[in-house]
Every structure is written in structure tokens, then in C-alpha cells.
């Protein structure tokens, strides 16, 4: 037997790999002694339940189990152990029965299968490979962590071509803009882009003032943006400057601009055209020197067509436009984002979750993320809080993620004989839903012009009106 390897590095690595042996008392003793001689810390127990409890507590990454021993069969033990911690490595020791068991156990997720009588060299090699696997994974995690700091652009994490285009555009625009429009679905990171635009601009040391245009009624919004003088309206007990004055010399970020009323839009247009404001209740005109970033998750072109958004304001704002892609369009960024948020929430909750199990990661990659990065951040944060083992598994994810989403189902599952017109209508509807109502994006995905898409909607509404008349 070549059990003891002199190499100090190998021995040190082995000392970090704690092995649990589940075997009858005499068998356990022999296995335990040999493993200890190889340099592994060993815990031996005749009880499968005891071993499962220790796996639950995260005390062992490797378990050696004698098949057909005690309270449950080796395969039952394997199943339970992987259920508790999908990251645990189980090596089964055969009981002399046919080889099919070996194949079955590997198929069900065992790391290796050792025949009886135990071939100690085989066992030493199996553990050796396992040590290498752990080392490789730790190395990858370490590299990814170091990479993370390079793949973060002013708080925006990503490495997909779609997000790198955004970084490049932000970098180019930030130096020279006066007005920029940031568009993209909800939770995609528009506010982060606005902040990056300010931080990279020549006025980064000045103020960055944020206003959510959907949160305030017109009168309050006007006074918030332009300020008011004492007595301008009931409750105006003092004179106050608005955000444009507060951020003079810096940047104003108008979030949810698509929700602004037409009346407020015309007031804003005056500010954009002349860089002048008037406090509510005052005739005095004041000059302001601000850069303006506006953001919306609405399709402003469609809003203009529907008469809800001023065309002149839209053209003023959209001469420079940055489109932030949905998470589904850059799903390859998901593992990196998971890591980023795990780091953040491990720190916040004092946890040490290391990652996702492969099957949990597959679930996240398949999901269509209508709430984009914000939704994903929430999923990771709550899974991090509730996860009991060091890897997040499917059971830690919210129930709607555990079920396959209808949109992800194969078309065949919902197939029924319909006309081509009906297929077209259904497909356009689905794509539009996928793009959270953004018609520009939907037209891009469908590979048709925007005007064709608008024609489709016109035709649809004419058809609906006709049907209603007939009914």
C-alpha cells in the first residue's frame, strides 16, 4: 500500500478535506485508520441518520458509505444526502453485489463507487481527484471574484456584448451631453446608468439630484423641480429653491418621465430650451446650468403617437438615447450578477453562501425575468437569507421559479390548429409581453419595422371594433 505521501502540500490540502465514514463498526475502524494515515481528518459513524445530520450542518464535503448497511440502502442514503446538500460528494462502497449498482449510483450522483474488498489505491486516487476538483472550484471562484472588480462599471455589473455597448455609450456621451434619454424595462438599471453618466461627466463633483416624476401630483412636482415662493399656494410657508437650482452646475435626473402630465411636459420643455426656470408664484426668471438625464420604461414614440407625450419634448430629449437591455437579452451576465449580489448579501446578513447548485443555476437561466435585475437581486437576497447550506438550491427559490413558466413551454404544448393570422397575432402578443410593452424593442426582436408593427395594432383595433359592432 502506498498510503502515505510525503509531499507536504498534498498533506496540507488533505487536512482541509474532512471525510465522514458510514460503516459497520469493524469496517469503519479499518477505513478510518487508513484514511487517517493518508492524511484526511475522519469521522466514523455506524448511523446513517447521524451522518445526514452532520451533512445538514455542513460538517463534511465527502462521505464514504457502505452499501446495504444499517437503516437505509446506500442509494437511499445518496438520495437523502444530495437532497440535504447537493454540493456533498458521496463515495459508495459496494457489498459484493452485481456491477449494475455501481452504474446506478454514479447515474444518481455519486462521486465514485468502490468495490469490496477495498482497493486502497483506488480509494486514495478517488479522494485525490476530489481534492483537485475542490481546488479547481476554489480557484475559479477566486478568479471570478477578482474578475468581478474589472467587470463592474460604476456599480453596473456585466460582461455581455449588450451591456458593454451600454458602458461604451455612457463613456462617450458622458463628456458632452446636455440632455440624455435612458430607456429600458423596469429594474434593468436605468438609474445606475444615470448615475454613471454623472460620475463620468466633467461635473461629477457637483450635485446629482433625483426626482421621480410619477410619485407627485402636478402642483407638487412643479414646486419640487422649480421651487416656490412664500404664499405661492396653501401651505407654502417659506420660499424654497427647486431641484434645478439645487443641482445648478451639476445633473438633474428625472425618473419615469413618461408619467409626466402634458401640462408639466410643456413647462419642462421651456427649461430644456432656455435653461431658465421660474419658481412657482414668482415672475422672476432664473438661469440654471444643469445637465439633464431623463429615464422611462415606456415606449415614448408610442406615447407620442397616442398623444400622451409631446413630440417636441421627445425630440429634445432623445437626440442622445441609451437603451438598457433587459436581463433576458443578456442572460449570460446572470452568473456574474449572482456572485455580485451574493457578496453584497453575505456581508449584509453575515452569511457565507458560496454559490448556486447547478440545478438552481439552470432554473435561473431558464426564467424570463420580467422584473429584470431588480427581481433577480430580490431572489438572490431572500435565498441567501434562507439557505441553510453553503449553496443555494431550488428549494430556496420562490415557488413561481420552481415551476416551469408557461412562456418557457414548448410551443407544441399549447399547439392547436389555427390560422396563420392567429399565429401572427399570438406571437406578436407574446413578444410584446416579453419586452414589457416596449414596441420598439418588440419590432427589433420580430425583425419587422416599427411602422409594420403599428399597422398591425391599427388593424387589430379596427378588427376588434368591427367585432364589437357585430356583437
Ligand X SMILES: Nc1ncnc2c1ncn2[C@@H]1O[C@H](COP(=O)(O)OP(=O)(O)OP(=O)(O)O)[C@@H](O)[C@H]1O
Q: Enumerate residues 152-171 that contact ligand X by CB under 6 A.
A: 156-158
Q: In the set 87, 187, 227, 325, which binds ligand X (CB under 6 A)?
A: 187
**Beta carbon nearer to ligand X, 23 or 326:** 326
**Beta carbon nearer to Mg ion, 154 or 275:** 154
Q: In the set 14, 61, 159, 190, which binds ligand X (CB under 6 A)?
A: 190
By beta-carbon distance, which residue lies closest to ligand X?
A: 189
**Beta carbon nearer to Mg ion, 66 or 255:** 255
**Beta carbon nearer to ligand X, 194 or 453:** 194
**Contact (Cβ atoms closer than 8 angstroms) between residue 295 and residue 253:** yes
Contact flag: residue 329 with ligand X (CB under 6 A): no
Q: In the set 191, 259, 299, 396, which binds ligand X (CB under 6 A)?
A: 191
Number of other residues whose CB lies within 10 A of the CB of residue 285: 11
Report, in Å, the least distance between residue 436 CB and ligand X.
9
Q: Of these partners, Mg ion, ligand X, none, which one is at the site of residue 184 (CB under 5 to 8 Å by kind)?
A: ligand X
Cell of 64: 464514504
**Beta carbon nearer to ligand X, 11 or 328:** 328
**Beta carbon nearer to ligand X, 157 or 428:** 157
Sole window of 187-195, 266-274, 298-306, 382-390 interacting with ligand X (rule: CB under 6 A): 187-195
By beta-carbon distance, which residue lies closest to Mg ion?
A: 191
Report, in Å, the least distance between residue 255 CB and Mg ion.
5
Contact flag: residue 377 with ligand X (CB under 6 A): yes
In DSSP terms, which residues pair with 321 in a beta bridge? 181
Q: Of these partners, ligand X, Mg ion, none, which one is at the site of residue 187 (CB under 5 to 8 Å by kind)?
A: ligand X
**Beta carbon nearer to ligand X, 380 or 387:** 380
Positions in the binding site for Mg ion (CB under 5 A): 191, 255
**Beta carbon nearer to Mg ion, 66 or 191:** 191
Q: Enumerate residues 5-64 that contact ligand X by CB under 6 A.
A: none
Q: Of these partners, Mg ion, ligand X, none, which one is at the site of residue 90 (CB under 5 to 8 Å by kind)?
A: none
Contact flag: residue 346 with ligand X (CB under 6 A): no
Sole window of 224-232, 237-245, 371-379, 453-461 interacting with ligand X (rule: CB under 6 A): 371-379
Q: In the set 184, 242, 250, 325, which binds ligand X (CB under 6 A)?
A: 184
Contact flag: residue 250 with ligand X (CB under 6 A): no
Contact flag: residue 188 with ligand X (CB under 6 A): yes
Binding site for ligand X (CB under 6 A): 156-158, 184, 186-192, 255, 297, 340, 373-374, 377
Amino acid at each position: 500500500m502506498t498510503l502515505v505521501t510525503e509531499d507536504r502540500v498534498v498533506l496540507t490540502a488533505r487536512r482541509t478535506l474532512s471525510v465522514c465514514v458510514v460503516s459497520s463498526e469493524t469496517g469503519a475502524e479499518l477505513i478510518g485508520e487508513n484514511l487517517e494515515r493518508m492524511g484526511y481528518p475522519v469521522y466514523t459513524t455506524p448511523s446513517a441518520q447521524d451522518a445526514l445530520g452532520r451533512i445538514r450542518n455542513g460538517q463534511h464535503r465527502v462521505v464514504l458509505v457502505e452499501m446495504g448497511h444499517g437503516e437505509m440502502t446506500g442509494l437511499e442514503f445518496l438520495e437523502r444526502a444530495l437532497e440535504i446538500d447537493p454540493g456533498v460528494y458521496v463515495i459508495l462502497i459496494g457489498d459484493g453485489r452485481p456491477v449494475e449498482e455501481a452504474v446506478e449510483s454514479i447515474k444518481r450522483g455519486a462521486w465514485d463507487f468502490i468495490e469490496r474488498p477495498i482497493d486502497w489505491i483506488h480509494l486514495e486516487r478517488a479522494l485525490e481527484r476530489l481534492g483537485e476538483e475542490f481546488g479547481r472550484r476554489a480557484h475559479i471562484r477566486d478568479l471570478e471574484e477578482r474578475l468581478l472588480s474589472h467587470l463592474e462599471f460604476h456599480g453596473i455589473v456585466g460582461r455581455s456584448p449588450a451591456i458593454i455597448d451600454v458602458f461604451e455609450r455612457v463613456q462617450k456621451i458622458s463628456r458632452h451631453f446636455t440632455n440624455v434619454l435612458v430607456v429600458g424595462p423596469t429594474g434593468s438599471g436605468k438609474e445606475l446608468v444615470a448615475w454613471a453618466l454623472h460620475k463620468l461627466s466633467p461635473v461629477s463633483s457637483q450635485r446629482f439630484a433625483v426626482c421621480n416624476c410619477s410619485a407627485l401630483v402636478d402642483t407638487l412636482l412643479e414646486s419640487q423641480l422649480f421651487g416656490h415662493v412664500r404664499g405661492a399656494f396653501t401651505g407654502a410657508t417659506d420660499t424654497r429653491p427647486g431641484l434645478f437650482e439645487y443641482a445648478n452646475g451639476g445633473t438633474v435626473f428625472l425618473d419615469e418621465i413618461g408619467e409626466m402630465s402634458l401640462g408639466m411636459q410643456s413647462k419642462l420643455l421651456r427649461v430644456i430650451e432656455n435653461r431658465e426656470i421660474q419658481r412657482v408664484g414668482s415672475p422672476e426668471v432664473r438661469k440654471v446650468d444643469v445637465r439633464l438625464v431623463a429615464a422611462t420604461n415606456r415606449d415614448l414614440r408610442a406615447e407620442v403617437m397616442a398623444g400622451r407625450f409631446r413630440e417636441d419634448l421627445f425630440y429634445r430629449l432623445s437626440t442622445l438615447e441609451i437603451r438598457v437591455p433587459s436581463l433576458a437579452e443578456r442572460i449570460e451576465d446572470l452568473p456574474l450578477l449572482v456572485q455580485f449580489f451574493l457578496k453584497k448579501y453575505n456581508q449584509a446578513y453575515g452569511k457565507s453562501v458560496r454559490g448556486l447548485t447547478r440545478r438552481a443555476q439552470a432554473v435561473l437561466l431558464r426564467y424570463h425575468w420580467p422584473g429584470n435585475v431588480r427581481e433577480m437581486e430580490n431572489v438572490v437576497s431572500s435565498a441567501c437569507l434562507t439557505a441553510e447550506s453553503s449553496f443555494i438550491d431550488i428549494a430556496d427559490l420562490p415557488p413561481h421559479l420552481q415551476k416551469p413558466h408557461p412562456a418557457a413551454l414548448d410551443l407544441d404544448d399549447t399547439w392547436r390548429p389555427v390560422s396563420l393570422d392567429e399565429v401572427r397575432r399570438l406571437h406578436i402578443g407574446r413578444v410584446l409581453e416579453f419586452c414589457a410593452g416596449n414596441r420598439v424593442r418588440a419590432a427589433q426582436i420580430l425583425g419587422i419595422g416599427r411602422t409594420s408593427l403599428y399597422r398591425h395594432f391599427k388593424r387589430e383595433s379596427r378588427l376588434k371594433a368591427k367585432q364589437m359592432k357585430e356583437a
